[in-house]
Structure 1
Amino acid sequence: MIARLPMYDWPELKEQHAAMWQHLAAVLREDLPADITVPELLTEDGDIVQQWCSSSLLVGQTCGLPFAQGLHKHTSLLGSPAYRLAGCNVGEYNSVIVAAPGVKADAVCLSGSAVTEPSLPLRAAVNATDSQSGFSALLYSLGAGSLGSISVSGSHRRSVQMLAEGVADIATIDAVSWVLAQRYEPAAETLQVIGFSEPTPCLPMISGVSRYAGQISQSLMRGLATLDESLKADLLLEGLVERNVSDYLFLSPRLTGAMQKHALTEVSVPATV
């Protein structure tokens, strides 16, 4: 069996993630049938898309966008985590719109804003083109005509670094990742926060063990509720919220509309090494 929680596995939180899983694994072993082998450790490598779709995935976490685009057909939804985030309802998160130090913040055209002298087309850094928080939220939040180029950074942390280095102008950073960047990434100190995207459901927890998905979900809720308070604080976690698949499905057509707004016909953009 596989357990993988890759979305916020920053090196600085490796010990906390390991400790959280030890606690959750113990609860799962108490609640699940003996023939379900609960992994001792979190998986940290391998093809993540294959793991998301695997019938051996006991517990995983994915992004809402690929889940809405079809992953929901191949996996069972366990719920969405509740993180400690200002300005969001329980079980929701948003993206922080950040700009490089030299960008005129009041000239950035956000959707619905009235900018009399818009800035030149902006160079955007996105963590991945299948990311709700880093790609879809960016396109949805920016006004038409404001994007000049898009580079794939590979991670929210690298996007922050690219802005600080002056090789990109703007990015939308997952709200949890932004808090972590403020804690652990010096480059974040130089950036400007110019807005926030609309909240959406948090990154879904999933399982390939469909037969026991309900029990797994209840175990995770119990495990997170009884997690050590210092671990909750370090990981910004409060618990797990019940979700329906339909809560996420709007994310796919919304990206299509946002791409049309920016005259993008495909999501294939140059990768940044």
Structure 2
Amino acid sequence: MTRLVASLGMYDHPAQQGANDRIWSAIVRILRTRGVEGVPDVLDRARHVHDIWRDPNLLFGQACGYPLVADESLALLVIALPVYDAPGSGHGHATHASVLVARANDGRRSLGDYRDTRPAINDPQSNTGMNLFRATLAPIAETRSFFATAVQTGSHRASVVAVVAGDADIAAIDTVSYAALIRHEPDLTAPLKIVARSPASPTLPFVTSATTSIETIAALRLALQQIMTDPHLAEDRAMLGLAAVLTANADALAPIRALEQTAIRFGYPDLL
């Protein structure tokens, strides 16, 4: 029997890991009741999420939307979109955005003041850290180059650290991640200000391998609906800011591609 893989690594701050573990345990019980074989007992935290997305044995994970529309080699199926209860998120819709943050005492007042400065980018293929950043800047960029140099950090939290430390001047942080940092590490976010907010975008989809059977996908969607109504998981959902889960497919990610195309039409195809 093939041992499958599961991950909830996109929103897995150390303070949230217990909640993710309990939610996964509940999903495991439901899947096994539905006859799904090879369901892993625990979430995979040993590998980077990029590697997990490419594992053909991925049963359940959460992925960034931009790679799903931009990288044809990524063989994943969208099964649902989460709805988050976080400032700047969709208020009942499966959307969120990015906040563009900078040091509160840097003396700059508007987004245009950050021309020729150093942005921190978590990943060049990140929707919230790059694509929404680009979409926010495109209307004011005027040229193909807005920034001077960039710092690539590897995560939203690391981008915040880089800005606070003065290693970068501005970063785009998704609203769900930023809400978690404000809640769990207020001293980290205290020196920052919000300079601008990006356009809205679909939330990070729940995904499975493209080889997953129709029957297993149905069981996953059922499990997601059941964990959202389980009273024993109410505190865990609140810890994650998880308000609802909506069944979806790849078509739901079309706005991500549209934001990319809009930036291109403005003559700003690349963030740098």
- With normalisation by structure 1, the TM-score equals 0.84
Distance 1:129 1:17 in 2: 27
Q: Deviations over 1:181-208 (max 9, x none)?
A: 1122322110001221111111010112
Written as runs of structure 1 = structure 2, the 5 A alignment for 1:138-217 is: 138-142=133-137, 143-144=140-141, 146-185=146-185, 186-208=187-209, 209-211=212-214, 212-217=216-221
Q: Secondary structure at the match of 1:225?
A: coil
Q: CA deviation at 1:263?
A: 6.1
Q: Deviations over 1:5-64 (max 9, x none)?
A: 11011122222221221122112222x325x22211001123533432333211111000
Q: CA deviation at 1:136?
A: 1.0
Contact 1:52 1:60 in 2 (8 A): yes
2:12 aligns with one of 4, 9, 13: 9
Distance 1:178 1:55 in 2: 31
1:71 to 1:53, Cα distance in 2 relative to 1, 3 A: farther
**Which residue pairs with 1:242 in the alignment?**
247
1:33 aligns with one of 32, 35, 50: 35
Distance 1:119 1:46 in 2: 35
- Greater shift in the superposed pair: 192-201 or 212-221: 212-221
Structure 1 runs not aligned, ≥5 long: 110-117
1:219 matched to 2:223: yes
- With normalisation by structure 2, the TM-score equals 0.85
Q: Give the fraction of aligned pairs with identical amino acids, expressed as a percent.
A: 25
1:86 to 1:101, Cα distance in 2 relative to 1, 3 A: closer
1:72 to 1:206, Cα distance in 2 relative to 1, 3 A: farther
**Which residue pairs with 2:99 in the alignment?**
96
Q: CA deviation at 1:119?
A: 4.7
Contact 2:67 2:74 in 1 (8 A): no
Contact 2:135 2:199 in 1 (8 A): no
Structure 2 runs not aligned, ≥5 long: none
Q: Deviations over 1:65-116 (max 9, x none)?
A: 011124597222111111112342421111111112333442322xxxxxxx
Aligned residues: 256
Distance 1:127 1:151 in 2: 8
